[in-house]
Chain A
Amino acid sequence: GAVVSQHPSWVICKSGTSVKIECRSLDFQATTMFWYRQFPKQSLMLMATSNEGSKATYEQGVEKDKFLINHASLTLSTLTVTSAHPEDSSFYICSASGQSSYNSPLHFGNGTRLTVT
């Protein structure tokens, strides 16, 4: 089945630094990628939707200048958390949807645990 790879699986950084998270579709072309954030014992909350070659669409309340999303190719999207603060500590998960997956399940990466100290 379709596989989505996310890297790194966990990262610890100091407050004020930036962190980049990669999301790759390994065996299909992902025309759309979604970035979610999940706090402990909470549901996945959509942060932004990105289509290959165009600017990401951010959900209300998500700062686009803080969470930079780049979807430069059909197999790679990156999320950069800029000037990270402890409140940005969370579990970030990406998912990818292909061209022929109008009704197919969205495939998820294994998530990245970000801890900002």
Chain B
Amino acid sequence: EDQVTQSPEALRLQEGESSSLNCSYTVSGLRGLFWYRQDPGKGPEFLFTLYSAGEEKEKERLKATLTKKESFLHITAPKPEDSATYLCAVLANQAGTALIFGKGTTLSVSS
């Protein structure tokens, strides 16, 4: 069964304190791994797609990496506006299938 597990469930950081969020997955043929940001009461906002092991993507203070079993979202020198829930999702290698989401990591950054 395809599964996505994110850790930790919640993370509190001081402004400027770098850290990483983990997403481990098992899927029958990975078409893509997605990272989204979700603010309270909003839909997920796309951040990155990773397709193959070894791939890395960067956007401002965020960097996503991918191995054959897991992905990391590294947050460098976070700011309070980075506070949100970060969702990881996988897309299996079958046309027309939906994303399978993890439960997310809720990040709180205090100044």
Co-complex (A, B): yes
- The count of residues in chain A whose C-beta lies closer than 8 Å to any C-beta of chain B is 26
Distance in angstroms between the alpha carbons of A46 and B45 in the assembled complex = 17
In the complex, number of A-B residue pairs with CB atoms less than 8 Å apart: 58
Contact (Cβ within 8 A) A42 B96 = no
- When C-beta atoms are compared, the residue in chain A nearest to B51 turns out to be A103
Q: Does residue B31 face the partner (Cβ distance < 8 Å to A)?
A: yes
Chain B interface residue bracket vs A: 20 to 34
Contact (Cβ within 8 A) B87 A93 = no
Known interface pairs A43-B87, A103-B32; A34-B98 also in contact (CB < 8 Å): yes
Contact (Cβ within 8 A) A43 B103 = yes
Interface of A toward B, CB cutoff 8 Å: 4, 6, 32, 34, 41-46, 49, 51, 91, 93, 95, 102-111, 113
Considering the complex of A and B, which 3 residue pairs feature the smallest CB-CB distances, nearest first?
A: A108-B43, A105-B46, A43-B103
